[in-house]
Structure 1
Amino acid sequence: MADVPSGEDIQELLQAQLRWVEEGGHPAEGPLMQFVAMRDNERREERYNDGDDFALMEAIYSCSCHGLKMPDWVAAGFRHGYQQILACNAKSLDDVFGRPFPKGKHLNALRKRRNIRFAIWNKVVEILRAEPGTPVNRALFKRVGREVSPPVGGSEAEEIYYEAKKMMPFSHSEVGE
């Protein structure tokens, strides 16, 4: 897995990202976003190796969004799956590339959760920066849950916050004020 950059390295990535955008580069293809995508693709490779076929589709999408060359495991996995389709050994794309959503999941609930994930993360960051010393505890998540739209309970806000935290390349304290 890619090393988690130090605070100094994160600042360098942020500065490089800003220069990239100022020079007309697409934000998604900038150095910071490419670093995050490569790190996330390493996690996807682990999931893929553990049997989560849809992680391959996520990696293909990530590479296309961030201007990255496909890692060997992605190219090989796609070729293998596509060959299964061409050889008529699969009834559907889901058979070779996995289901996009687990059976029984409701799309509206998944969409709501996805849409508020970073609103919750950002609200926590905003509060911690505005009120240093605020403990990250149940009371904070209750407050955040009331302040996001649509509102959620404290337990749900906490659960979603930690989902978002896993997706972040660094903690909110490392990016500076």
Structure 2
Amino acid sequence: MDFDPKWTLEEALAAQEEAEANGLEWGDPTGPLGKWDGTRVLKELQGSYEAGDTLALLAAIRRCFQHELPVPEWVSSEFIRRYDQVLNGRAKTWDDAFGAFFSKQKRFVGYRQRRELSVVVPLRIRRILDTEPNTPIGKELFARVAEMSDIPIGGDAIEKLWRESPFGRLFNPNFKKSKPKKIS
């Protein structure tokens, strides 16, 4: 089934349910819901890129591949421009052209832990919501997940990870991520 980027969340969910009833595997990022959300994220990434976050360009490329979306013109033209900077000797390194992912301020170990938790936490919450569908999404749920022995963060951090996850964005489409920071 195709998707329409102008769908509401409800329309995207209905199309996803229909696709799953016809054999699409749950969680497939190329399904209607994945493509719909991927298109929304591409718009966010364009805003981040325009605000100076050069790594948003690479994230946009990944998003296109992940959801099998057409590459937007801004992504293709900016990728070619930056690639050509290295190819033509105007940038010494790929980091010079695309931006360094880890700056002196960004600690690798802390980043890796947050990245792992950004996957684990939403999946734990989804599992609870799937088995207990009447559970409200709120402070009590986040505190419950925080009490799990292998998650070393509190309820507020759990809530932030949920709200910034694809699941959290889908369940709360009005949620705004924090403003992008320029990566130096």
Superposition TM-score tier, normalisation by shorter sequence: 0.7 to 0.9
Counterparts of residues 98-113 of structure 1 (less than 5 Å): 98-113=99-114
Instruction: Tell me, in whole angstroms, the C-alpha distance in 1 between the residues paired with 2:92 and 2:147.
Output: 46
Instruction: List per-residue Cα deviations over 1:133-165 (Å, max 9, x = no partner).
Output: 64712x443321112633322232233223226
Please state whether the residue corresponding to 2:170 is helix, strand or coil: coil
Instruction: List per-residue Cα deviations over 1:100-155 (Å, max 9, x = no partner).
Output: 23432222221221222243224334545627364712x44332111263332223
In the alignment, is the contact (CA less than 8 A) between 1:142 and 1:153 conserved in 2?
yes
Instruction: Tell me, in whole angstroms, the C-alpha distance in 2 between the residues paired with 1:135 and 1:69.
Output: 34
Distance 1:134 1:33, change over 3 A: closer
Pick from 3, 8, 13 the counterpart of residue 10 of structure 1.
13
Instruction: List per-residue Cα deviations over 1:6-26 (Å, max 9, x = no partner).
Output: 42442223322553636xxx9
Please state whether the residue corresponding to 1:110 is helix, strand or coil: helix
Instruction: Tell me, in whole angstroms, the C-alpha distance in 1 between the residues paired with 2:134 and 2:24.
Output: 31
1:50 positional shift: 0.9
1:95 positional shift: 1.4
Using structure 2 for the length normalisation, give the TM-score: 0.74
- Hey, which of these two has a bigger chunk of helix by percent? 1
Instruction: Tell me, in whole angstroms, the C-alpha distance in 1 between the residues paired with 2:63 and 2:9.
Output: 24
Distance 1:101 1:40, change over 3 A: farther
Instruction: Tell me, in whole angstroms, the C-alpha distance in 2 between the residues paired with 1:168 and 1:136.
Output: 11
Instruction: Tell me, in whole angstroms, the C-alpha distance in 2 between the residues paired with 1:20 and 1:49.
Output: 39
Provide the residue aligned with 2:170 in structure 1: 170
Identity of aligned residues (%): 28
Query: For this pair of structures, how many residues does the alignment match?
Result: 166
Alignment gaps of 5+ in structure 2: 173-184
Instruction: Tell me, in whole angstroms, the C-alpha distance in 2 between the residues paired with 1:16 and 1:143.
Output: 33
Instruction: List per-residue Cα deviations over 1:62-96 (Å, max 9, x = no partner).
Output: 21222222100000001110111122111111112
Alignment gaps of 5+ in structure 1: 173-177
AA partner of residue 24 (structure 2)? V
In the alignment, is the contact (CA less than 8 A) between 2:91 and 2:97 conserved in 1?
yes
